[in-house]
Amino acid sequence: MSSTIPSCLAKGWEICESFYSPCTPSECSVYCHMRGYKSKGAHCIGRKHGEECCCQR
């Protein structure tokens, strides 16, 4: 575990739980909605393999 604060959390965003695999927009969208992010005005920030995938309001 890293002691560094992930950029997502630093900005107050959620981190997609599937960040261990390449994050696809559909994966993130489902996760964002399950976490209570409404479809309107919410989108997901996907990053490359091994990095966090963020949900942003």
The reported pLDDT for the residue numbered 39 is: 55
Count of structural domains within the chain? 1
pTM (2 d.p.): 0.40
Sign (positive/negative) of CA torsion 27, 17, 35, 55?
Answer: negative
Residue 1 lies in a domain: no
Average pLDDT over residues 23-52: 62
In a domain, 38, yes or no: yes
Residue numbers of the domain that contains 19: 7-56
**What pLDDT score was predicted for residue 16?**
62
Residue 2: inside a domain: no
End-to-end distance of the chain based on CA atoms, in angstroms?
26
Residue 47 covered by a domain: yes
Give 21's Cβ-side CA count (13 Å radius): 6
Distance CA 40, CA 48 (A): 25
Residue 11 domain-assigned (yes or no): yes
Residue 45 located in a structural domain: yes
**Distance of alpha carbon 21 from alpha carbon 38, whole angstroms:** 24
Share of the chain above pLDDT 70, in %: 18
Residue holding tokens 């920030």? 45
